[in-house]
Structure 1
Amino acid sequence: MTDHGLGRIGVWTFAFDGRPASEVREAAAEIEELGYGTLWFGEGFGRDSVSQSWLLLSATRRIQVAAGIANIALRDPISMAAAERAINEAYPGRYVLGLGGHRISDEPIQMDGYAIPSKGRAVASMGAYLDSMDAIPLTSAASPYPPRRALAALGPKMLELAAGRTLGAHPYFVPVEHTARARETMGPDALLAVEQAVVLDADVSRAREVAREHVGFYAAAAPHQIASLRRLGFGEEEITQVSDRMVDAIVAYGDMGAIEKRVRAHVDAGADHVCLQVLTARPDEMPRAEWRELAAL
């Protein structure tokens, strides 16, 4: 296994959305100084993926910045390819473009009451998007480093596409069992950068409730995650009732020992890189104290 330049441990967060740019810059610089290899961020209805990438890269000097993910339903391949080249030229070798948002059916998906246009079937739509990005005759200055892309991949066909067409896969909301399956599917050389949700709280009962809320959200509202849970052997009642077994598989919670054990399990199962998403009872606040503590990993 190799870290593909990302380091073994990274941070994954939605917490920058809604925070002032000055506060985001300060937090990003601290995450870099704490020694994390890569800073991943999600995309919703806060800053778009391109502007967030520029903000984080401009606030840091060495750390890798990775979009986890830029939603292909929200921008044309031309604008995505042009932005990718511009960022990679300005910050050579420090940017990973994670692509996703293919998890949509033939009908628009509702996000906070807003209809995201359909892109069609998952693997076909992502393959076509990559084809379009590669075919665009860009004229802007190019970086000496080739672009680095990864795909949000859960099912075997998307994992195969990730291994064949990009640096590798960035699975989100997955247990260790999925990591082992993904490594077997993609082979030994493709990047496997796994998101792992964690609740750092020695009060196990309180930590599990935070974990349950996180798992319950995706188990109720994310069809692609529900399909993934079914493939992993979780039954319909476990999914609808948010079973303890499912919560324990998806989220690592408790003290540092519990978090370290889960990270090691992912690495032993084939992960090159594990990015930690800290969950707290106050998702509107950046978990800077937890990022500092987890840096010991």
Structure 2
Amino acid sequence: MKLGLNLGYWQRHADDATEVVQTAERLGYDSVWTAEAYGSDAFTPLAWYGARTRRIKLGTSVAQLSARTPVATAMTAMTLDHLTGGRLLLGVGASGPQVVEGWYGQPFPRPLARTREYVEIMRKVWRREEPVTNEGPHYPLPLPGGLGKPLKLITHPLRPDIPVYIGAEGPKNVAMAAEIAQGWLPLFTFPSKISELYGEFPEGFDVAAMVMVAITDDVRSALDGVKMMLSLYIGGMGAKSRNFHADIVGRMGYAEAASRIQALYLAGRRQEAFDAIPDELADGISLVGPPGRIKERLQLWRDSPVTNLLVMGPRDERSLTTVRDLVLG
């Protein structure tokens, strides 16, 4: 199992994690990942960290499709991959209608077909086999009826096959990721239920699961931290009629709880929404407690299809070292 560090996106204040990334690289972490929602973008921090490191891989988890056209993302990825000596892992995802329509002002039609088309165009750009055209309904190239003509990327990519990862939660989207991408970035992972929910994955496919980690003797407090995050995502990160995070929690076997959590959260009863989250759910998707407890629970992840553990939470050298020893030791 590989080990990565997921920094997420900035919260209220700017977060330069250069020292954390350099420590992770020195300790042997395989990758570091950044994210975007409606604050900091995913690529700029990676360029910053890439200029200050030499080996650690640099991943986006995830770059939102609606934030950039396919060729804009392809150019950004190609540029960053060149500047960092071929270290980019490009994670992309459709996000959800709340962000796509509310933040980017874009429609949210057929996310699976749109993702497939997006990835196909990026690969055409990187391969440089011919001027890029696309007849798909979501990203037609050139624009029909206009004065544009097909173009070819000027710069030769360092790698014409930059690894693509897809952030996906629904079974059809995950199946598509296994078909067209090098990896899958699940947000909430109940390791013992992955095979039941999604079936088998191709050999060499990277299941890079994000997991909240807290090394502490206070298990109760650590679980409450996980529950705080879950209450936000299940309750508030999505529309009432379409919340992919609530859906995945439902498929894990907590549909009744997810419905209640969302209803309470949207009604402004956030403490009750927090209280409605089962401890079993919070514990199942995280690794919290003293090192011995985490070591024991890590076996569930080793026995699952997960091939890459992207830890969220540890920032100081002692915690990063403990996690490294537990996962890679």
Tell me whether the two structures share a fold, i.e. TM-score over 0.5.
yes
For 2:4 and 2:108, locate their aligned partners in 1 and report how far apart those are by CA, in whole Å: 30
SS at match of 1:59: coil
Residues 271 and 56 of structure 1: CA distance in aligned 2, closer, same or farther (over 3 Å) = same
Alignment partner for residue 247 of structure 2, among 213, 227, 236?
227
Question: Using the alignment, how far apart are the partners of 2:124 and 2:208 within structure 1?
Answer: 27
More displaced, 172-181 or 268-277?
A: 172-181
- 2-side partners of 1:121 and 1:49: how far apart? 24
Displacement of 1:27 in angstroms is 2.1
Letter in 2 for 1:133: M
Distance 1:116 1:296, change over 3 A: farther
Q: Which moved more, 1:59-68 or 1:251-260?
A: 251-260
Residue by residue, what CA displacement relative to the aligned partner does 1:124-152 show, whole Å, maximum 9, x if unpaired?
Answer: 12112112323443121311462111101
- Deviation for aligned residue 1:257: 2.2
Deviation at 1:261, TM superposition (A): 3.1
Structure 2 counterpart of 1:127 = 116
Distance in 2, matches of 1:198 and 1:20, equals 19
Partner of 1:54: 47
Distance in 2 (CA, whole Å) between partners of 1:145 and 1:172 is 28
Q: CA offsets per residue over residues 221-268 of structure 1, 9 Å max, x none? A: 231111111122213235512122221222221111232333332221
Distance apart, 1:162 and its partner CA:
1.1
The 1:144–1:187 alpha-carbon spacing in structure 2 relative to 1, beyond 3 Å, is closer
Residue aligning to 2:323: 294
Contact 1:153 1:159 in 2 (8 A): yes
CA RMSD between the two structures:
2.5
Write the letter of the residue equivalent to 1:122.
Answer: P
1-structure distance, mates of 2:10, 2:20: 9
Secondary structure of 1:235's partner? helix
Q: Is structure 2 residue 213 aligned with structure 1 residue 184?
A: no
CA deviations on 1:131-183 (whole Å, 9 max, x unpaired) are 23234431213114621111012222112211211102111122113433467
**Moved runs in structure 1, 4+ residues, more than 6 A?**
none
Residue 206 of structure 1 pairs with residue 221 of structure 2: yes
Provide the secondary structure at the position in 2 that maps to 1:291. Answer: helix
Tell me, yes or no, if structure 1 residue 278 matches structure 2 residue 313.
yes
Q: 1:205 to 1:63 in 2, by over 3 A?
A: same
Q: Which of 43, 62, 65 is the aligned partner of 1:69? A: 62
Trace 1:1-297 onto structure 2 (pairs within 5 A): 8-14=2-8, 18-19=13-14, 21=16, 24-104=17-97, 108-110=100-102, 114=103, 117-136=106-125, 137-144=152-159, 146-181=161-196, 184-222=199-237, 223-237=243-257, 240=261, 241-278=276-313, 289-297=318-326
Q: Which runs of 5+ in 1 are unaligned?
A: 280-285
| Matched AA of 2:211 | Q
The TM-score with structure 2 as length reference comes to: 0.76
- How many residues end up aligned between the 2 structures? 279
Unpaired segments ≥5 residues, structure 2: 126-151, 238-242, 262-275
TM-score (norm 1): 0.84
TM-superposed deviation, 1:116: 5.1
Distance 1:35 1:218, change over 3 A: same
* Structure 1 CA distance for aligned equivalents of residues 61 and 50 of structure 2: 15
Q: CA deviation at 1:41?
A: 1.7
Residue 120 to residue 238, structure 1, CA distance change in 2 (3 Å): closer
Compared with structure 1, are the counterparts of its residues 201 and 109 closer, same or farther at alpha carbon in structure 2 (3 Å cutoff)?
farther
Alpha-carbon distance in 2 for matches of 1:117, 1:109: 5
- Identity fraction in percent: 20
